[in-house]
Amino acid sequence: MKIDVLFYCQLNTSIMKKIRTFSVIAILIILMISCIDRDILNISDSIEIHSSYSLPVGAFDYDINNFLESLDTVTIPWPDSLVYNDILFPTFTSSVSFTSIDTISFNLVRDPVEMIRSIEFLILVNNGYPTEMSAQIYFLSSRSALPVDSVFKNGPCVVPPAEVNDEGKVTRPYTSLFNVVMTDEFLQKLPEICWIMIRGRVNTTKPDVRWVKFYSDYQIDLHIGSRIELLYNTGDL
C-alpha cells in the first residue's frame, strides 16, 4: 500500500512538472507570434537602396599621319625637322592638334528622379608616339556646339612619350589611367549633355632629341568608361 501511494505521488509530481513546462513553452510561443505580427505590421512599404554600376562610354584612336604626309622634303634640315618613315622633313611647328571627327554619342543615363549620387570617369590613354601628348574631353549639349563642361578641370591631361629603343623607334606605348570624380555642378548639367568631343595635341619635337622619328603605324588609343553610384527608394519607383 505504501508503495502504491509513493508511486502515485511521484507520478503526480511528474505530470505537474510537464504541465508547468508546457505552460512556459505556450507562453513563449504566444509572445513570439505577437512579436512577429508586430514586425510584419511595422514593415515599411519602401526600401532605400544604394548601388553602383559601370558603363563603357566610348573608344577613340587617332594618328597624325595626315599632317606628316603633307610635309615636303628639304635638302637643308630646318631646326625643327623630324623623320617620318625614315625620311627627313621640316616640321614648322612643335606640335599637332587633333579633334575627334565624329562626336561619340553620350547617352549615359537619364535621371528624372535624381537617383544619381556620383559619376566617376575612367580614362585609359595609350600614347604610341615618341613625344608627349595631351588631351581634353568635352561635353556638348544638343542646343549648342560649345562645350558645357569638361572632364579635366585643371587643363588637358598629359601623357609622357612612349618607350623607344636605341634607334629612336617606339617599343612600347606609354599607358596612363585617369580617374576623375565629377562635381555636383556636372550632375545638374547631365540632362542636357548629349555628346562627347575629344581634343588634344601631339608634340613633334623633343628637347633632348635632334630629329624625332615617326612612323605610320604610330597612334593614340583612348578608352572612356564610367562608374555611376545610385541611391533610390523603392517607394519612388
Q: pLDDT at position 50, please?
A: 67
Q: What are the strands, taking DSSP E only, across 65-206? A: 82-84, 87-89, 95-99, 104-105, 116-127, 133-141, 147-150, 157-159, 163-164, 170-172, 174-181, 193-203
**pLDDT given for residue 9 in this prediction:** 47
Neighbours of 192 (CB within 10 A): 14
CA distance 156 to 32: 64
Residue 113 CB burial class (10 angstroms; 0-12, 13-18, ≥19): exposed
The type of residue at 146 is L
Instruction: Return the percentage of the chain with pLDDT > 90, whole number.
Output: 42
For residue 78, what is the DSSP state? Answer: -
d(CA 230, CA 237): 13
Let me know if 125 is exposed, middle or buried by CB neighbors in 10 A (0-12, 13-18, 19+). buried
What stretch of H or E contains 2? Answer: helix 2-42
| Dihedral sign from CA coordinates of 200, 203, 207, 208 | positive
Q: Report pLDDT for 11.
A: 43
Question: Can you list the residues of the chain whose pLDDT is less than 70?
Answer: 1-48, 50, 74-79, 101-103, 105-113, 232-237
Q: What is the pLDDT of residue 95?
A: 94
The span from the CA of 16 to the CA of 39, in Å, is: 35
* First vs last C-alpha separation in the chain: 80
User: What was the pLDDT predicted at 2?
Assistant: 43
- In CATH, the number for domain 49-236 is 2.60.120
For 179-201, write each residue's pLDDT tens digit: 999 998 998 888 888 888 899 99
| pLDDT confidence of residue 23 | 58
What is the model's pTM? 0.74
Torsion of CA 24, 26, 28, 34, to 10 degrees: -150
Question: In the block, which residue shows the cell 558603363?
Answer: 55
